[in-house]
């Protein structure tokens, strides 16, 4: 597949890596643009792809075009490329920019809106995406193949993408804060900083991997770890008597609300 990227930032680079690692496209079939020469220099050196400062050249040489730009400049970018778009798939990864907003400029074109997250950088993306009425079944399968080379991606109604933004789009920052808290607790209990950080990372990573690979529900794992009158039960008494669930819900809900605000 000939795939283009308008914008060559971290998310674009992660998607490029996944596409190349999975053999979806070859180096010669990927082209990327950016306003920053250093960004183009990096992707050209790292992935041996074609680069350009001309967004129109990206469109002319691609079947699928990822719009990896800031929401604030999306309209400007769309206006600059609209005359070059025919049957290409236009894939936006800009937070809060709706299909309707893009369609105002690209009327009648095939548009996909994706909400990815930063674990895409290590091939563990958790994403949701929506397509407009002009994307057919074959094209839907094509974009699913491209997105899933970097993790998981669920085809959802657009109204659900704000929830995806709050949960998995912003989620890595919330999880990172929890890892900070675990690390600080380890340090306060006498552990070396690096040891506490490493143990915290592996605890989160190992727990997620165990749940996923064994197909366990989270509650089931809680019970497995909780020996009667043991250390885990003692700790759970503190955690579960707090309003931790409410705090997490409020955090994710506020991120979702902000996503809605950005789209208005």
- In the chain, CATH 3.40.50.720 covers 3-157
What pLDDT shows up at residue 259? 86
What pLDDT shows up at residue 261? 86
Strands 64-67 and 89-92 turn out to be parallel
What pLDDT shows up at residue 221? 97
Name every residue whose Cβ is closer than 8 Å to that of residue 77 and which is 6 or more positions away in sequence.
Answer: 6, 55, 67, 69
What pLDDT shows up at residue 26? 95
Flag whether pLDDT at 121 surpasses 90.
Answer: no
Q: The domain 3-157: what is its CATH number?
A: 3.40.50.720
Give the model's confidence band at 151: pLDDT under 50 very low, under 70 low, under 90 confident, else very high: very high
Average pLDDT for 113-138 = 94
Q: Could you tell me which of 242, 10, 2 has the C-alpha nearest to residue 118? A: 10
What pLDDT shows up at residue 164? 95
Q: Could you tell me which of 62, 90, 57, 66 has the C-alpha nearest to residue 6? A: 66
User: pLDDT digits over 71-89, tens only?
Assistant: 899 999 999 999 999 999 9
Q: Could you tell me which of 79, 113, 81 has the C-alpha nearest to residue 96? A: 113
- Taking the C-alpha atoms of residue 124 and residue 149, their distance in angstroms, rounded to an integer, is 9
Give the model's confidence band at 135: pLDDT under 50 very low, under 70 low, under 90 confident, else very high: very high
Q: Could you tell me which of 53, 97, 90 has the C-alpha nearest to residue 75? A: 97
Do you know the residue count of the chain?
A: 264
Q: Any idea which fold 171-262 has?
A: ProC C-terminal domain-like fold (1.10.3730)
- Report the 10 Å Cβ neighbour count for 98: 20
What pLDDT shows up at residue 192? 98
Flag whether pLDDT at 264 surpasses 90.
Answer: no
- Taking the C-alpha atoms of residue 33 and residue 54, their distance in angstroms, rounded to an integer, is 6
Torsion of CA 41, 124, 154, 203, to 10 degrees: -150
What pLDDT shows up at residue 76? 96
- In the chain, CATH 1.10.3730.10 covers 171-262
User: pLDDT digits over 182-219, tens only?
Assistant: 999 999 999 999 999 999 999 999 999 999 999 999 99
What pLDDT shows up at residue 263? 75
Tokens read off for 65: 């075009």
User: pLDDT digits over 6-51, tens only?
Assistant: 999 999 999 999 999 999 999 999 999 999 999 999 999 999 999 9
What pLDDT shows up at residue 262? 78
- Taking the C-alpha atoms of residue 107 and residue 103, their distance in angstroms, rounded to an integer, is 5
Q: Could you tell me which of 154, 105, 110, 158 has the C-alpha nearest to residue 134? A: 110
């Amino acid at each position: 597949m000939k795939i283009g990227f308008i914008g060559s930032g971290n998310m674009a680079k992660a998607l490029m890596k996944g596409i190349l690692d999975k053999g979806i496209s070859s180096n010669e079939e990927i082209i990327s643009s950016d306003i920053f020469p250093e960004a183009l220099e990096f992707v050209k050196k790292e992935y041996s792809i074609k680069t350009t400062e001309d967004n129109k050249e990206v469109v002319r040489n691609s079947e699928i075009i990822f719009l990896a730009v800031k929401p604030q400049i999306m309209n400007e970018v769309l206006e600059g490329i609209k005359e070059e778009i025919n049957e290409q798939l236009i894939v936006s990864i800009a937070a809060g920019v709706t299909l309707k907003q893009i369609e105002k400029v690209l009327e009648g074109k095939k548009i996909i809106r994706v909400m990815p997250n930063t674990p895409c950088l290590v091939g563990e993306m958790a994403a949701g995406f929506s397509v407009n009425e002009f994307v057919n079944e074959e094209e839907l399968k094509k974009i699913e193949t491209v997105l899933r080379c970097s993790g998981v991606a669920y085809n959802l109604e657009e109204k659900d993408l704000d929830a995806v933004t709050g949960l998995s789009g912003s989620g890595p920052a919330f999880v990172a804060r929890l890892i900070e808290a675990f690390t600080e607790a380890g340090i306060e209990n006498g552990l070396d900083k690096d040891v506490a950080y490493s143990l915290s990372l592996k605890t989160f990573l190992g727990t997620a991997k165990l749940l996923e690979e064994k197909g366990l529900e989270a509650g089931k794992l809680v019970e497995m770890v909780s020996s009667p009158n043991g250390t885990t039960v003692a700790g759970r008494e503190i955690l579960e008597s707090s309003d931790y669930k409410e705090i997490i819900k409020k955090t994710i809900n506020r991120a979702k609300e902000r996503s809605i605000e950005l789209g208005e």
